[in-house]
Amino acid sequence: AQTVTQSQPEMSVQEAETVTLSCTYDTSESDYYLFWYKQPPSRQMILVIRQEAYKQQNATENRFSVNFQKAAKSFSLKISDSQLGDAAMYFCAYRPNAGNMLTFGGGTRLMVKP
Amino acid sequence: DTAVSQTPKYLVTQMGNDKSIKCEQNLGHDTMYWYKQDSKKFLKIMFSYNNKELIINETVPNRFSPKSPDKAHLNLHINSLELGDSAVYFCASSQGLAGVYGEQFFGPGTRLTVL
| A96: Cα separation from own chain's centroid | 16
Contact (CB, 8 A) for B89 and B27: no
Task: Give Cβ neighbours of residue A84 (< 8 Å, ≥ 6 apart).
Answer: A15, A112, A114
**B55 contacts in chain A (CB < 8 Å):** 100
Task: Give the pLDDT score at B98.
Answer: 58
Task: Give the pLDDT score at B102.
Answer: 67
pLDDT, tens digit, 9 for 90 and up, residues A14-72: 999 999 999 999 999 888 999 999 999 988 999 999 999 988 899 999 999 999 999 99
Phi, psi of B55 (to 5 degrees): -110, -45
Among residues A52, A62, A56, the alpha carbon closest in space to that of A96 is found at: A52
**B103 contacts in chain A (CB < 8 Å):** 35, 47, 50
What gap in Å lies between CA B57 and CA B45, rounded to an integer?
A: 8
Task: Give me the residues of chain B with pLDDT under 70, please.
Answer: 1-2, 97-102
- Which residues of B1-115 form beta strands (DSSP E)? 4-7, 10-13, 19-25, 31-37, 43-50, 53-57, 64-70, 73-78, 87-94, 105-106, 110-114
Task: Give the pLDDT score at A76.
Answer: 98
Closest Cβ–Cβ partner in A42, A89, A97 for B98? A97
Residues in B lying within 8 Å of A, measured between beta carbons:
31, 33, 40-45, 48, 50, 55-56, 88, 90, 92, 94, 96-98, 100-104, 106, 108-109, 111
Subunit contact A106:B42, Cβ cutoff 8 A: yes
Q: Is B59 exposed, middle or buried (0-12, 13-18, 19+ CB in 10 A)?
A: exposed
The alpha carbon dihedral of A92, A94, A100, A106 has a sign of: negative
What gap in Å lies between CA A46 and CA B15, rounded to an integer?
A: 32
Task: Give the pLDDT score at B74.
Answer: 94
**B108 contacts in chain A (CB < 8 Å):** 42-44
**Secondary structure class of B49 (helix, strand, coil):** strand
Task: Give the pLDDT score at A1.
Answer: 67
Task: Give Cβ neighbours of residue A36 (< 8 Å, ≥ 6 apart).
Answer: A21, A23, A47, A48, A49, A50, A64, A66, A75, A77, A90, A91, A92, A93
Subunit contact A106:B97, Cβ cutoff 8 A: no
Subunit contact B100:A52, Cβ cutoff 8 A: yes
